[in-house]
Amino acid sequence: MTEYWDEFFLKLHNQQALKEQLDAAESDEDWMMISIEEAIEKIPTGCLTLPDEKEIQFQTLHLYDHQLTMSLPSSWIPEPRAEQTKDQRGSYVVQDKPNGILFGLHQSKHELEPAQVEIYQQQMIEQMSRVQPSMKLVDEKALSIQDAIIGCYESIFLVSPSPYYQIAFVRSWRGKALIGSCQFKLEDAPLWVPLTYAMLYTATWSEHS
């Protein structure tokens, strides 16, 4: 029993240490396993080699009637319902269950103009804070990608047994709100934070039918 509690408190300490590191890092990329710029360069090639020599294979997906092209890890498997509707308006969800990763996109019917993105982003944060009291906001930003503004926020969910990290984002696409998120284990944030942003930067969006 003593060994169990020693392991429990060690794990808790490590999680708290990582959370403090993430809080302090903000825009500093030193804590990331790979830089966003390097990931942007490598993802389109279909293979990303990490510093520990591990490789992540990427596949190019054409979503929403081929109007959105995005490269995602090949190990991320579509949910059955999402797989049936991936070329239609609505939701698209992929996951890597063994590694605790979930990525989703949702084409909302809510009208949203580009100038309203940051306001909508704040509404998302406020709503999530009410629904999930365990959420701790880490960062929020507005990215300019391909002449579009994408509002993003990062948060930590300190839940048992495995705290997790989430990057949520929203953009105006054809006059509607497109919402997405990627969540993963807190301990894996140094890898998936830069990769999530790189996947957003390398995606291509068609504004015309």
The predicted-structure confidence for 144-168, as pLDDT tens digits, reads as follows 998 899 999 999 998 778 899 999 9
The mean pLDDT value for 122-134 works out to: 90
DSSP readout, 77-134? EEPHHHHHTTTSSSEEEEEEGGGTEEEEEEEEEEE--GGGHHHHHHHHHHHHHHH-TT
Separation CA 172–CA 116 (nearest Å): 8
The confidence score (pLDDT) of residue 66 equals 87
The confidence score (pLDDT) of residue 159 equals 78
The predicted-structure confidence for 164-199, as pLDDT tens digits, reads as follows 999 999 999 989 999 999 999 999 999 999 999 999
Give how many domains the chain has, as a whole number: 1
The confidence score (pLDDT) of residue 31 equals 82
* 74: containing domain: 2-205
- State the CATH number of the domain containing residue 50: 3.40.1000.10
164-173 sheet: strands from edge to edge: 77-78, 91-96, 101-111, 176-185, 164-173, 148-157, 135-145
The predicted-structure confidence for 1-53, as pLDDT tens digits, reads as follows 444 334 444 455 555 555 555 555 444 567 889 999 999 999 999 999 999 89
